[in-house]
Amino acid sequence: MREAKLRGLDALGIVAAAMTVAGCAAEPSQAQAVERWVVKGRVVDEQGRPVPRAKILADNELLYNSYASGTTDANGNYRILLPHVHVTWSMSGQAVRIVGGEKIETNLSPDNDDSFAGNTGAVRNFTLRAAGERPDGGHYGASVVLYSEPGSIFDTVGAQLKFEPLDGRPAFTAVVKNTGDGNAVPDVPVDRYRISASWKGRPLKIRMRNEGSYGPYVEPSFHKVMTGLYDLSLQVQDP
C-alpha cells in the first residue's frame, strides 16, 4: 500500500468502511468498456486461458489501508465498484498456482500499471506469469541462491545449475551470477525440480543450505518470503 497523502483534502468526511466494496464479475461482452466509478478487466495465464478466483485489489492512493477488492469469475473477468470519492487508484492482484500439491501465491502482471481517477474508471487486465520482470524492477520468478561451504573461499559465480522439472517437462540450465540477493540464478519459475550443480563441467555435490548431506542433486521446495515472493538457498562443496 502507498503511504497516505492527505494534501489538504477534506478526508474527515470519508469513512474507511466506504472503501471496501464487493467486486462482481463482468460479462465477457462488457469487459473492455470503460465505466465511471468502475474498474474491471480480465485475468489470463500465459497461454491466454482465463484465471478464475484471482484476487484483485484497487488501492486508494489518498488514504492508507483503504481499498476495494474483487475476485475473478470462471471466465477470468472481474468488476469492482469504486466509492464516489475523487481520488486516484492503483491496481494489483494475486492468483494461486498449484505446484506439486502446494499452493503458490503469485503476483499478477498488469497490462497497464498507471494510476487512474475513480470518476473516470478504467480497464486493467492482468496476466499470471511464472517468471519475468515486474513493473517495480523485481521478478515474478524466485531467486535461487548458491552458497559455498562455511569458511570456503570458493566463489560460486559461474557455477551452473540444472533444473529438471519433476513432471517431465524440458530441463534448463542457468549460470549463477552476482545479484542483489547474492550469488544466484534470478527469476526461476517456482516449480518442483531436481537441481544439480557443476563447475567448469565438473559435477558438484549439493544440498539445501546448512541442511542434510551433500549429494548429486536435491529436490527442494521453494521458501515463501512473503505473498508473491519466493526464494531457495542451496549449498555446494568446493570443486
The residue to which cell 491496481 is assigned: 91
Strand-pairing partners, residue 224, are: 230
Q: What is the pLDDT of residue 120?
A: 97
Indicate whether 137 belongs to any domain: no
Q: What are the start-end ranges of the E strands in 101-228?
A: 102-107, 109-110, 116-117, 122-123, 126-128, 142-147, 160-165, 172-175, 177-179, 182-188, 193-199, 202-204, 206-208, 223-226
Q: What is the pLDDT of residue 183?
A: 98
Q: What is the pLDDT of residue 45?
A: 97
Let me know whether 104 and 153 are in one domain: no
Let me know whether 90 and 191 are in one domain: no
Indicate whether 39 belongs to any domain: yes
Last residue of a domain, one of 128, 161, 189: 128
Q: What is the pLDDT of residue 26?
A: 42
DSSP string of 20-62, one letter each residue? ---EEPPPGGGTTS--TTEEEEEEEETTS-B-TT-EEEEEESS
Domain region containing 215: 142-236
Closest C-alpha to 144, from 74, 97, 196, 69: 196
Q: What is the pLDDT of residue 31?
A: 52
Amino acid at 79: R
69 is written with which cell numbers? Answer: 477488492
Overall number of domains in the chain: 2
Please give the DSSP secondary-structure letter assigned to residue 135.
T
Report the predicted TM-score, pTM, of the whole model to 2 decimal places. 0.82
Residue 67, classed as helix, strand or coil, is: strand
Task: Quote the CA–CA distance of 90 and 115 in Å, as a whole number.
Answer: 5
Task: Quote the CA–CA distance of 136 and 160 in Å, as a whole number.
Answer: 28
Last residue of a domain, one of 99, 128, 157: 128
Indicate whether 88 belongs to any domain: yes
Closest C-alpha to 96, from 155, 35, 53: 53
Q: What is the CATH number of the domain that holds 173?
A: 2.60.40
Q: What is the CATH number of the domain that holds 77?
A: 2.60.40.1120
Last residue of a domain, one of 74, 106, 128: 128
85 neighbors 61 (Cβ within 8 angstroms): no
Indicate whether 135 belongs to any domain: no
Task: Quote the CA–CA distance of 150 and 43 in Å, as a whole number.
Answer: 45
Task: Quote the CA–CA distance of 44 and 54 in Å, as a whole number.
Answer: 10
164 is written with which cell numbers? Answer: 529438471
Per-residue pLDDT tens digits of the chain, which is 239 residues long: 333 333 333 332 333 333 333 344 444 445 589 999 999 999 999 999 999 999 999 999 999 989 999 999 999 999 999 999 999 999 999 999 999 889 999 999 999 999 999 999 999 999 999 999 998 889 999 999 999 999 999 999 999 999 999 999 999 999 999 999 999 999 999 999 999 999 999 999 999 999 999 999 999 999 999 999 999 999 999 98
Query: Torsion angle, CA of 92/73/124/62, rounded to 10 degrees?
Result: -50
Q: What is the pLDDT of residue 32?
A: 82
Indicate whether 120 belongs to any domain: yes
Q: What is the pLDDT of residue 48?
A: 97
